[in-house]
A = this chain, B = another copy of it.
Amino acid sequence: MERADAARNRARILEAAALLFAERSPQDVTMDDIAKKAGVGRGTLYRRYPDRASIAVALLDEHERALQERLLRGEPPLGPGAPPAERLAAFYAAMVRLLEDHSHLVLGSEVGRSRFETGAYGFWRAHVRALLVAAGTPGRDALVDVLLAPLAPEVYDYQRTVLGLTTEQITRALTRLTAVLDG
């Protein structure tokens, strides 16, 4: 059971981190910045969150949970019921929304390899793999990560920020990937 002061500080930390992540590039936010803004000491911060990524993950958590819930029990085509290809397309569209709405958080949490070690990646992976099974697509195990790769925050950020593509263009391109299901 969590003590009252601990709970208060956790809330302060998350709030401060959200503000800082929103106002500047995630890797320019130091653990010290977060501690200062939250009004807690360095040790208190490290007690719960060993690094920046874990804070961003905590902040993302609720949004990701909401999407996961819709994937499991929501209406088709996102939820169960629709054909696999349509469900995959709906999943892509939803992920683009998530990336767009919380790009700063996602960039803060999932830099490089750490992306694969989050629980969320495991969930997306299981979901897409199930769709591949349902569609009877061979070579699932390798195809899953291939299909998830374009959702890497760096890729999305590059497409949006550097190339100046719209969310619609990206969503359409991702939708074309559903062609690999039936083949």
Contacts and interface: CB of A to CB of B under 8 A. Distances in A.
Contact of A183 (B111, B139, B169, B179): B179
6 contacts: A112-B154, A141-B163, A142-B169, A145-B159, A177-B177, A177-B180
* Residue of A142, A150, A152, A170 contacting most chain B CB atoms (<10 Å): A142
B142 A146 contact: no
Contact of A176 (B154, B158, B176, B180): B180
A159 B142 contact: yes
Q: Is the interface of A mostly helix, strand, loop or mixed?
A: helix
A53 to B, nearest CB: 12
Which size class do A's interface residues fall under?
Answer: 20 to 34
Given A176-B183, A179-B180, A180-B177, A142 B170 contact: yes
A155 B113 CA distance: 8
A72 interface: no
A112 B154 CA distance: 6
A172 B180 CA distance: 12
Interface string A140-177: 01110110011010110111001101000110111011
A169 B157 CA distance: 29
Contacts of A123: none
Contacts of A112: 111-112, 154
A142 B143 CA distance: 20
Given A163-B141, A165-B141, A113 B174 contact: no
A91 B25 CA distance: 35
